[in-house]
Amino acid sequence: MNIADSEIVASILNESGYDVTRDINEASLILLNTCSIRENAEQKIWNRLKALKSVRKKNPSVMIGVIGCMAERLKEKLIQNDLPVDIVAGPDSYRSLPDLVIEAEIGQSRINVMLSESETYADISPLRLDSNGVTAFIAIMRGCNNMCTYCVVPFVRGSERSRDPRSIVKEATELFRKGYREVTLIGQNVNSYFWKDTGETIGFPELLAEVARIDPLLRVRFATSHPKDLSDKLLETIASYDNICKHIHLPVQSGSNRILKLMNRQYTREWYMNRIEAIRKIILECSVSTDIIAGFCTETEENHKDTLSLMEWAGFDFAYMFKYNERPGTKAAESLPDDVPDEIKTKRLNEIINLQNKISAKSKKADVGKIHRVLVEGYSKRSTNFLYGRTSQNKVVVFPAENCQIGEYVNVMVEKCTSATLTGRLI
């Protein structure tokens, strides 16, 4: 989401006459787009700001801004110190950035952290940064109404609002025309996408189908799905279109019903298992990835074992795994004790990671000997004699470049797997 937001910010500033530079010493404006989800994400920004002191020393007129979730969360605290910060703008105030820069230049107020009920930046055509020219993100909604007790997102990104479907389809169509071959529709909870217009209502399955109909050569992905809202209708839509990728990111967070309740996830272990069964039944060869939090408030060894057993049962192809980190202002911070000692959180996280490594290895091994349709995204980091791309199931495959081009679809026979990638040959 922050990549997509940076592209919106770049577009807004571009309209005001700014260009993007790769050289920090050449910049007249430096913006740090920030994340508040865990403390270490914020710590990185504090360190980066300290490092920017020397850039400011060399170039006293350079403007420095902090934008995004940390700006929203900390507001004036980002300015009240000896760090070089001139501008603070939250996720809903990016349109005001050109004005904030002018105000900061003449030493006036330079904070805008007003959250909005309606801002979706629907009319802004993002300026693609660091693009491979093949894959792009399209934000379809902003904010979140779910109020998971551990999560800072609803406070820093505001309440949920969906973007006009016509502007989404237009953006995807233009990307396809420019040669892009894959779009990922993103939102904190895409399953609650909702648009009502002159009597017609459009939910996420309808939106996904409309984007898929743009062209069979345009792959469509999406993230993230909340398990409580994952409907059979959506699964049927995914199954009906070859170009909708067969991969669902479905964060489970915990396998214990007691912990899920304390997290306010609004589903049970059994509900989650039922959704996985529905995926397996409705979609052929669908991969599933997840997010897991280790050591949430009051988590017992038995609760942790419930997470391990669910992981094993579900056989996730991939997982993002975290230690619980208390965030100020959240319901958990206010009313639940962060009482799992750090050593125990680390131990549990390591158990989760070790188990997932085994499960992921098994999932990759199952691909060996199979032919996959791969969208070529770029050259392999190690050698330009090799290209890489992803399968519909979102697994990275590396193969000899031969005569194929970036942006093309190729068939690859998977011959080997390492811990992170599959390798194969063109057929």
Phi, psi of 209 (to 5 degrees): -65, -40
DSSP state of 427: -
For ligand SF4, give the closer residue by CB, 11 or 146: 146
Segment holding 426, helix H or strand E: strand 422-426
338 binding ligand 5AD? (CB under 6 A): no
| Amino acid sitting at position 141 | M
195 binding ligand 5AD? (CB under 6 A): no
* Choices 230-238, 256-264, 320-328, 400-408; region in contact with ligand 5AD by CB under 6 A: 320-328
CA distances from 107 to 80, 126, 411 (A): 15, 29, 58
95 binds, among ligand SF4, ligand 5AD, none (CB under 5 to 8 A by kind): none
| Amino acid sitting at position 230 | L
Cβ atoms 161, 119 nearer than 8 A: yes
What's the min distance (Å) between Cβ of 298 and ligand 5AD? 15
User: Taking CB under 6 A as the rule, which mask of x and - marks residues 147-186 in contact with ligand 5AD?
Assistant: ---xx-----------------------------------
What's the min distance (Å) between Cβ of 396 and ligand 5AD? 21
337 burial type by CB count under 10 A (0-12 exposed, 13-18 middle, 19+ buried): exposed
For ligand 5AD, give the closer residue by CB, 8 or 252: 252
List the one residue out of 121, 75, 106, 97 whose CA is nearest residue 29. Answer: 97
For ligand SF4, give the closer residue by CB, 265 or 395: 265
Cβ atoms 208, 233 nearer than 8 A: no
Write out the two tokens for 373: 């349709």
User: Taking CB under 6 A as the rule, which mask of x and - marks residues 121-150 in contact with ligand 5AD?
Assistant: -----------------------------x
Residue numbers 110-169 binding ligand SF4 by CB under 6 A: 144, 146-148, 151, 153-154
For ligand 5AD, give the closer residue by CB, 151 or 314: 151
What's the min distance (Å) between Cβ of 153 and ligand SF4? 4
37 binding ligand 5AD? (CB under 6 A): yes
Rounded Cα–Cα distance for residues 134 and 370 (Å): 24
Cβ atoms 406, 134 nearer than 8 A: yes
Cβ atoms 327, 333 nearer than 8 A: yes
- Cis before residue 224, ω within 30 degrees of 0? yes
146 binds, among ligand 5AD, ligand SF4, none (CB under 5 to 8 A by kind): ligand SF4
Segment holding 14, helix H or strand E: helix 2-15
User: Taking CB under 6 A as the rule, which mask of x and - marks residues 181-220 in contact with ligand SF4?
Assistant: -------xx-------------------------------
What's the min distance (Å) between Cβ of 161 and ligand SF4? 14
Q: Which stretches of the chain bind ligand SF4, using CB under 6 A?
A: 144, 146-148, 151, 153-154, 188-189, 226
